[in-house]
Every structure is written in C-alpha cells, then in structure tokens.
Structure 1
Amino acid sequence: MPKLKNKIISFFAKLGLKFMDEKSQMALMVFNCKPSVISEIVIIPVVGMIIKKFTKRLSNLKEKGKIYRGKFKEKNITIVPMTMGAPAAAVIMEALHQTKSKYIIKVDFCGGLSSDMKVGDIVLADKAICGDGTTPHYDPDAEIISTDSDLLNILDEFLMQKNIPFKKGAIYTTDAIFRETEELLTKARNKNAIAIDMETSALYLLGNQFGKKVISINVVSDIPDPNKKFNLNISSRLIDNTILLVDTILEFLSEKIV
C-alpha cells in the first residue's frame, strides 16, 4: 500500500508541475507558495528572534508555505526566513527574481571588526567584500560590490533624521562562522571592512544582476575572537538595538518606499 500511495502522490505532483511555468516551479521549490504571494517589499532575516520581532508587528499576518505576509500601516510586507550563508542567500535571490519583489532588506546580526565597534551597534553596509565561495559563481571577478545607491542614501538619511546611531561601511562576507582566524580577520580589516557576515556579498551582487534594490543592515552580536569559536554576547544592548532596528526599518518602509 505505501508504494501505491507514493505512486499516486508522484503522479499528481508531476501533473501539477506540468501546468506550472518555471517561475512558479522555482517559487514553489524554495518558498512552498506561488510567486504572486511575494510582495514588492521583502525582509530576509536569519535569526529566529528577529523573524519573530517582525512577524509580531505585522497585521493581517498569514503564513504561506515557508514565508509570512502581512501589513504594516497598509504596506504589504513579506518576511522570508533565510538560513545562514551565501549559498542560501543566492537561492533566496534566485527565487525572488521570479517574483514581483523590488525591495529586499536583510536585517540580522553581524560581527564587528573596527576597533571602536561594540556589541549592539547598528551597521549599514554600503558595500560588500567578497570572501565567500558562492558569489564568484555569478561573477568570478567580484571583489568589492556596491548596492543600490538610491535605497542606501534614503535609508542613510532616514536613520539620521530619526537620530538612530549607526555606523556605515563595508561588510566582509565569509563562509565559515567557526573559522574566523586571525589571518582572515586581518585580511578583512585590511580591505577596510568594519563588519563581517555570511550573506551580504551574494545579496548585493545578485541584487545588481537581477535589478532588485537590496540593502543589508545588521546589529553587531559579537566581536570575533580567533581564540573562541563561539563569542555571541546576548547583552541587553544587543536586544534593545535589535528591537530598535526592527521598528525603524518598518517605519522606513512605510514612510519612504512608494
């Protein structure tokens, strides 16, 4: 009986895919929903706490497959939970390319690299430095990747108008969260990176290639230490500024994105 059941499931799955175009198939594979469900504004967090902070603030919240869709002050917003790393970021971007999404905002955690950086600092990435293995698959010459200047400048101005303290600079994207060696950290700092993460270079490069407006803004959760594999510091300042950033980004999207 189980074999017969599986044959029936397989038959109807193939039948359904037969009538789907490529866009729908990709969205179904990645998001487990139709591409039409994705709104023009998409927020892509990794950390569960940040996902929950966003979803709790949306009205008319609906879970569609692997994503959440709701409203903030009448603005349609989609939350796409993303797993860690540039490969996952590239998969998400490939799938979002098949939708009507226009604005893609990464809000998450990062490591601090500059000497004046503290846990809880907010970092706006004006560019990404490629240190991962995924981004070169799309552009072998990619090294320093800028993002959409219009979105960057509008957000920069909004943060200053709201008196939100933040640091702006390059973020270095790497692959191995538990292999942030002294050599790697020195390399990143020598390239003038003020922070380090695992997604932004892929997001910025594919945003440019796919015509999406992408921004990465993160809260410093740790100051990488080559002698410690795990250096997360869940301080009250980290939590306070994470909540502040979530609220600020939603206000920004509702006020500044037409």
Structure 2
Amino acid sequence: MTIMDEKTSRDALINPRAIKGVPNLDSIALMCAVRPDVDDLVKCLGLKRSHQLPMNKIYFNKDGKGGSVAGPMMGAPYAAYVLEQLIASGAKKILFVGWCGAVSPDLEIGDVIVPSSAFVDEGTSVHYSHREIGTIVRSFPNEDLVDWLSDALEREEIEHARKAVWTTDGIYRETPEQIEYFSWQGAAAVEMELSALQSVANFREVALCGVLIVSDELHSGKWKPGFSDPKFQETRKKVIEALCRICRAA
C-alpha cells in the first residue's frame, strides 16, 4: 500500500503563482530558518525591497539581481510554501541556511554541514513524492549544487562536512530513542525543514541544497545548547559573509 501513486499528478486545485511586484528571482535565492541570519544577509547583500508573506518576507533588489533572501521560517509545511512562492517567482537555484542539533559525537557546536541527504520524519514530503508506509525515506539535494557550494566554501576556507541529517516536525519529540535510531541510520544532525525542501525542489525540478551550522548537541543524552557559544557565533558570521560573497560572484 502506498500513500501516493508513483505517477504523482502535478495538477492541484490551488497552484503557486508569481508574486505581483516581485521581479524575476533568477539569481541565487537564500532561504533562512532564523531571523538573525535573515537580517544579516539582507544587510550584507544590500537588499532594499521586500514583499510580505503571511509570516515572513522575501527581500530583493529592484531588478531581482544580486540574490534574494526569504525568511525566517520554522517547520516543513511553511518552508515548503515559501519555496513554492520563490520557484513561482523564477528561482531555480536555492540555498537553505539553517541551524541544527548534533546527534552524532562526530559533530560539535560551531561545525558546518552541507547535507548529503535528509531522513524524512515530517509530513510534507509525502505530498511531493512516492512513499511506502512504514519505510525509512530520504530526500536528496541537487548534487551539482552541493559540489558547487562545497567548492565555494572551501575557497572561503570554511571547513565543513557532507553528512546526512534527520528532519523532524516534532520539536519537543526528539526523544533518546528517536535520536539513537536516526543516528544509527546515519544521521549526524537534526533540523526541521530540509527534507521537505529537497522533496519540493526535486518535484519542481529546481536545484536546492543546504548549509547548516551546529547550534546545539543532543548525542550525550542531555541537551547542550550553544546558541550563545562564541564558536557558534563566529562560525555563523563567517558563513553569512561567505554566502554574500558567493552570491555576488555567481
């Protein structure tokens, strides 16, 4: 039994449309999970205009060039909605910027990941892909974009690892059993949006990948937050500045 047929219809009663007043966003679009990254990227890129979405904004220049920024957003359903709006407005190359919690002892606060895949533990991906009930499913980023971003980060001298992550929409249900299970499956970190974003991007045939900064640790059996940790803040600043330069050079 399956939740969706393999020949998933692209037709729906409600479909995304280009946003009136937003220029064609054919340069790199940045999606940010958290407000500090949104604010810093908008300032760094010098974006002067914005369009209000229900719970966040899309920021851009008059001609749509020089990159765009959307955020903040929490959770797969709303992140998928924002991505659909960006794609309908011309975005074809999207970078997701977020924070994550380490579920593997190989990672610590302040480390950087360019995810190689994401375990689907949220409810949005199923609407964009074939999925068997009761099976472990992963979604994947665009490999060419992952290689491009990884090379760009290396040129910026930002150390990073390519590892699988676990995407959940149960922020208060990251139980020891869940952490152990997904860590055993190969996930190095947990976050809340990426598997759905990759599912949407693959369905719409656009390129998307992510870069995540480890903001907290869960692998010891106790939660260790590191949001104010100097290493995390320093790394976050370096990644934001690097992404600005990458966008300008693209």
Q: Tell me what 2:155 maps to.
A: 161
Contact 2:16 2:84 in 1 (8 A): no
Higher RCO structure, 1 or 2 (CA under 8 Å, sep 6+):
2
In structure 2, the partner of 1:181 is 175
Query: Equivalents in 2 of 1:150, 1:60: separation in Å?
Result: 27
**CA RMSD, 1 decimal:** 2.5
Equivalent pair of 2:110/2:214 in contact (CA under 8 Å): yes
> Which residue does 2:129 correspond to in 1?
139
Picking from 197, 207, 213, the partner of 2:201 is 207
**1:68 is matched by which residue type in structure 2?**
Y
User: How far 1:160 moved relative to its partner?
Assistant: 2.1
Structure 1 position 100 matched with structure 2 position 90: yes
Alpha-carbon contact 1:147-1:204 (below 8 Å) kept: yes
Counterpart of 2:45, as a letter, is L
TM-score, normalisation: structure 2: 0.82
* Partner SS state of residue 118, structure 2: strand
In 1, are the aligned partners of 2:109 and 2:214 still within 8 Å (CA)? yes
Q: How does 1:41-120 map to 2 (within 5 A)?
A: 41-65=28-52, 66-70=57-61, 75-120=65-110
Query: Which residue type is aligned with residue 180 of structure 1?
Result: E
Structure 1 pair 230–48 and aligned structure 2 pair: CA distance change class (3 A): farther
In structure 1, distance between residues paired with 2:202 and 2:15: 22
Secondary structure in 2 matching 1:56 = helix
Alignment-derived partner of residue 164 in structure 2: 170
Which one has the largest radius of gyration? 1
For residue 157 of structure 1, give the secondary structure of its aligned residue in structure 2.
helix
Match of 1:251, SS state, is: helix
The answer (yes or no) to whether the contact 1:169–1:193 under 8 Å persists in 2 is yes
Identity fraction in percent: 25
Gaps in structure 1 of 5+ consecutive residues: 1-20
Tell me which protein shows more helix as a share of its residues.
1
Aligned residues: 228
Q: Assess if the C-alpha contact under 8 Å between 1:23 and 1:35 holds in 2.
A: no
Query: SS at the partner of 2:162?
Result: strand
Three-state SS of the structure 2 residue aligned to 1:94 is helix
Q: Secondary structure at the match of 1:57?
A: helix
Q: Which runs of 5+ in 2 are unaligned?
A: 1-13
Structure 1 segment 243-254 matched on structure 2, within 5 A: 243-254=237-248
What TM-score do you get using the length of structure 1 for normalisation?
0.80
C-alpha separation in 2, matches of 1:38 and 1:103? 9
Change (3 A) 1:158 1:40: closer
Secondary structure of the corresponding residue to residue 234 of structure 1: coil
Residue pair 1:180, 1:225 contacting (<8 A) in 2 also: no
In 2, Cα distance between the equivalents of 1:86 and 1:197? 10
Q: State how far apart, in whole Å, the 2-side matches of 1:249 and 1:195 are.
A: 21
Structure 1 segments of 4 or more deviating over 6 A?
none
Q: From the superposition, tell whether residues 82 and 59 of structure 1 become closer, same or farther in structure 2 (CA, over 3 Å).
A: closer
